[in-house]
Amino acid sequence: MPTDPRGRARNGARRQFAAFVAAALLVLVAVGTTTVLISDRIARDNALAEAERIAVRLADLIVAPLVREAVSGMPERWEELDRVLTNRLSDGSITSVVVWTDRGEVVYATIEQLIGRQEPPSDDLVAALGGVVVAHVDDEPETAYGDVQGPLLEVYVPIDVGAERMAVEAYFATDAVDEQAALLRGEIVPLAVGALVVLQLVQLPIAASLARRVRRQEAERLDLVTRSLAASDRERRSIAADVHDGPVQDLAGVSYALTALRSSVPDDRQPHVDRLVSTVRHAVTSLRRLMFDIYPPDLSPEGLVAALDDLAERLRSDGVDVEVRTEPLPEVGPEVAAVLYRTVKEALANVARHARADRAEVRLAPTGADGDRAVVLTVADDGVGVDDGYDAGAGHLGLRLVHDRVRDLGGTVSVEPGADGGTVLTALLPIPHGA
């Protein structure tokens, strides 16, 4: 993981732009698939409606008049009906026509072997005999009507033959569905998908421009943070030097002078001198601690371990048993080392101020493969603990600063309750390549 501010900003913007492009492609695929499904559905409905209109005209204008005449004593009308329907079926759009009585008997069919067959009326036939036009796609017809196999468009049309209600059943090939679906796809898909493609082509340059702008702003922000930290470190170094060369040296001189004067004062006054010497030395110790707080010591891999142990020693002087466990570390770089030191410092300060703990442990170890190396820092205590779901980034100012520093280097921080009570802070920091 890169820790260079510009590199992190550039990679973040690239990820955002890639996510935008991926979302656009997913939308295109979803819209294209939906459009195909809708076109098939529309084609199916249109084909049914068209087949219903053709079947109604066929039944009312051709079949019904000739069947009435044939039933009323003109049997030659059956032959005329057969001739007319044969011509009508020659174009292949209609595969067969059957005329049913209300008893389920076939009085006429373009397929001669069906004439005279009697079957229990189906639900569709019963509905048609009741005066309703029924149309649907029969995906698996029980009987092959004509030469067409497979799905057929099936339409039942009621007709009145004298006092008797009959039904004309017409079967249509599903080629119309396929043709209309192909036609609709050819019209709808280019329109819908093409509009989205044009929209994306317009948006992509805008998104790329915004991504570049965000990348520049993020790089500038991170660069400003880096310069601010560098300026802060220089100022801290200057303050620490002033404290060391000024008050610390002056107080050390006062301590030596008081020690030298001790023998020259009366015996009953010497305890007062001892208390003054102790107070001055304590002030010197406090100032030295302040110097370390203001400007940390050597944070090379070897110096970092010693600096962490020095932080632990301060807590040990307050009666807390602190163990520091470190494994051999690679060269982590000054930025990572400084963040590790400040994280431990803040965590141990919280242990001292809030945890009411008897024990604490600091663990530092490398992790990951050579291509993706990282350092894992764990600070655990046996104190009062925190609630589940505690957010380090939303905690008090010290933890928020720790969270922001680690995040700026591409790492993560979590603060969770320990398995046996207390609190566990875990920080994962990537080691920059080439560090």
Q: If you write DSSP's letter for every residue of 296-328 in order, what string do you get?
A: ----SHHHHHHHHHHHHHHHHTTT-EEEEEE--
Instruction: Give the domain CATH number at 304.
Output: 3.30.565.10
For position 377, what pLDDT does the model report? Answer: 93
User: Which two structure tokens, joined as six digits, stand for 175?
Assistant: 């080629």
For position 7, what pLDDT does the model report? Answer: 54
The β-bridge partners of 94 are: 172
Q: Which is more confident, 104 or 31? A: 104
Tabulate helix, strand, coil % of the chain (nearest 5).
60, 20, 20
Written as one letter, the residue type at 340 is L
Residue 406 lies in a domain: yes
C-alpha to C-alpha distance for 432 and 434, rounded to whole angstroms: 6
With beta carbons less than 8 A apart as the criterion, state whether 145 and 152 touch. yes
What's CA 304's distance to the chain center, in Å?
Answer: 39
For position 167, what pLDDT does the model report? Answer: 93
Select from 204, 214, 203, 208 the least CA-distant residue to 10.
214
User: Which two structure tokens, joined as six digits, stand for 68?
Assistant: 């009435």
Phi, psi of 17 (to 5 degrees): -65, -40
Task: Please check the confidence at residue 1 and state whether its pLDDT lies above 60.
Answer: no
Residue 347 lies in a domain: yes
Residue 405 lies in a domain: yes
Mean pLDDT within 90-113: 87
Count of domains forming the chain: 1
pTM given for the model: 0.43
Phi, psi of 253 (to 5 degrees): -65, -40
Residue 338 lies in a domain: yes
C-alpha to C-alpha distance for 379 and 14, rounded to whole angstroms: 35
For position 298, what pLDDT does the model report? Answer: 63
User: Which two structure tokens, joined as six digits, stand for 134?
Assistant: 């029924």
User: Could you report how far apart the first and last alpha carbons of the chain are, in Å?
Assistant: 12
Tell how strand 94-100 and strand 106-109 pair up. antiparallel
C-alpha to C-alpha distance for 34 and 47, rounded to whole angstroms: 20
Reported as a single tens digit per residue, the pLDDT across 269-305 is 888 888 888 888 888 777 777 776 676 666 766 678 8
Rounded alpha-carbon distances, angstroms, from residue 216 to 15, 53, 212, 324: 15, 66, 6, 41
With beta carbons less than 8 A apart as the criterion, state whether 222 and 410 touch. no
For position 297, what pLDDT does the model report? Answer: 64
Band (212; pLDDT cuts 50, 70, 90): confident
3-state class of 106 per DSSP?
strand
Task: Please check the confidence at residue 148 and state whether its pLDDT lies above 60.
Answer: no
Task: Residue 27: count other Cβ atoms within 10 Å of its Cβ.
Answer: 13
The C-alpha torsion from 287 through 288 and 289 to 294, rounded to 10°, is 80
State the angle between helix axes of 64-71 and 76-89 in degrees (0 to 180), rounded to the nearest 10: 160
C-alpha to C-alpha distance for 213 and 202, rounded to whole angstroms: 18
Residue 411 lies in a domain: yes
Residue 394 lies in a domain: yes
For position 426, what pLDDT does the model report? Answer: 93
Which residues, other chains included, contact 430 with Cβ-Cβ below 8 Å and sequence gap of 6+? 1, 3, 372, 373, 374, 409, 410, 411
With beta carbons less than 8 A apart as the criterion, state whether 429 and 377 touch. yes
C-alpha to C-alpha distance for 218 and 225, rounded to whole angstroms: 10
Mean pLDDT within 152-170: 89
For position 261, what pLDDT does the model report? Answer: 82
Task: Please check the confidence at residue 223 and state whether its pLDDT lies above 70.
Answer: yes
With beta carbons less than 8 A apart as the criterion, state whether 336 and 435 touch. yes
What's CA 384's distance to the chain center, in Å?
Answer: 36
Domain that holds residue 358: 297-430
Reported as a single tens digit per residue, the pLDDT across 355-413 is 888 999 999 998 875 556 889 999 999 988 877 666 665 556 778 888 888 888 888 99
C-alpha to C-alpha distance for 410 and 211, rounded to whole angstroms: 20
Identify the helix (H) or strand (E) that includes residue 347. Answer: helix 334-350
C-alpha to C-alpha distance for 253 and 280, rounded to whole angstroms: 10
Tell how strand 321-326 and strand 164-173 pair up. unpaired
Residue 74 lies in a domain: no
Residue 92 lies in a domain: no
C-alpha to C-alpha distance for 346 and 398, rounded to whole angstroms: 6
Mean pLDDT within 47-64: 86
List the 423-430 sheet strands across, edge first. 321-326, 359-367, 374-381, 423-430, 412-417
Tell how strand 423-430 and strand 374-381 pair up. antiparallel
The β-bridge partners of 262 are: none
Task: Residue 15: count other Cβ atoms within 10 Å of its Cβ.
Answer: 11
